Amino acid sequence: MPTDSQTTEAGLATAKALLDIKAVNFRPEEPYILTAGWASPVYIDCRWVISFTEERRKIIQLGVDLLQSEGVLDATDMMAGGETAGIPYAAWLSEATSKPMLYVRKEPKGFGRRARIEGNLDDGKHVLLVEDLATDGGSKLNFVNALREAGATVSDSFVVFYYGVFAGALDSLEEAGITLRYLATWHDVLKVAEEQQSFSPEAIQGVKEFLADPIGWSADHGGKGAD
């Protein structure tokens, strides 16, 4: 697993696919406020991938290769998609690897079995939690806990994209015994965006300033800062 500031061949290929379908937005002049509370000049919409068959197949194959190379795939019995963005990715990985699939609700449904886990889960099965992206580990823990409470063994989560800029972002996952596996970070996207001139020099410079001090940049642009 690379450090957050390194680029990889798989990360650059994923970044190119995301840029080619315009799933990436650079907007330093009007920052996004992420779910976790950070202000960010960049936003990625991995849900956009569902409409582009060639790029999604490429991304899923990169994911399969990564999970295989890191020894995760052979130890995985089932793929579980987190509601809602993780569900298509889990389905694609399930099909590509011939492994059964589940999906995990954010909250129990209000009727029937009130289940949070949809699909057939036997106790002790090793389940890989699949989502589209991660800024920090908070939202992943909700799904991990639901799977564990239902009898699954969970030690890994896979996402296509990890922000990879906020210090300590993965502490909560690590404390819960979860390793985050991911293809690309903003460092991959920035490198490809510069090479392809995907955005204006001013926008790219704004992203560079964010990556150099993301917590300070967030605090200066209406988001949360250091605790």
Q: Look-up: residue for tokens 């197949």?
A: 57
Q: Is residue 180 a part of any domain in this protein?
A: yes
Q: Whole domain around residue 59: which residue ranges?
A: 9-220
- Judged against a pLDDT cut of 80, whether residue 12 lies above it is answered with yes
Q: Over 70: is that where the pLDDT of 3 sits?
A: no
Residue 226: pLDDT above 80? no
Q: Give the domain CATH number at 118.
A: 3.40.50.2020
Domain assignment present for 134: yes
Mean pLDDT of 29-43: 89
Please check the confidence at residue 137 and state whether its pLDDT lies above 90: no
Look at residue 142 and tell me if it is in a domain. Answer: yes
pLDDT at 150: 93
Structurally, the chain folds into a number of domains equal to: 1
- What is the arithmetic mean of pLDDT over 132-155? 91
Judge whether 4 lies within some domain: no
1 domain residue, yes or no: no
Within-domain flag for 19:
yes
Note whether residue 104 is domain-resident: yes
Structural domain includes residue 116: yes
Label each residue of the chain as H, E or C. Answer: CCCCCCCCHHHHHHHHHHHHCCCEEECCCCCEECCCCCEECEEECHHHHHHCHHHHHHHHHHHHHHHHHCCCHHHCCEEEEECCCHHHHHHHHHHHHCCCEEEECCCCCCCCCCCCEECCCCCCCEEEEEEEEECCCHHHHHHHHHHHHCCCECCEEEEEEECCCCCCCCHHHHHCCCEEEEEECHHHHHHHHHHHCCCCHHHHHHHHHHHHCHHHHHHHCCCCCCC
pTM of the predicted protein model: 0.91
Q: What is the pLDDT of residues 40-66, one digit of tens each?
A: 999 999 999 999 999 999 999 999 999
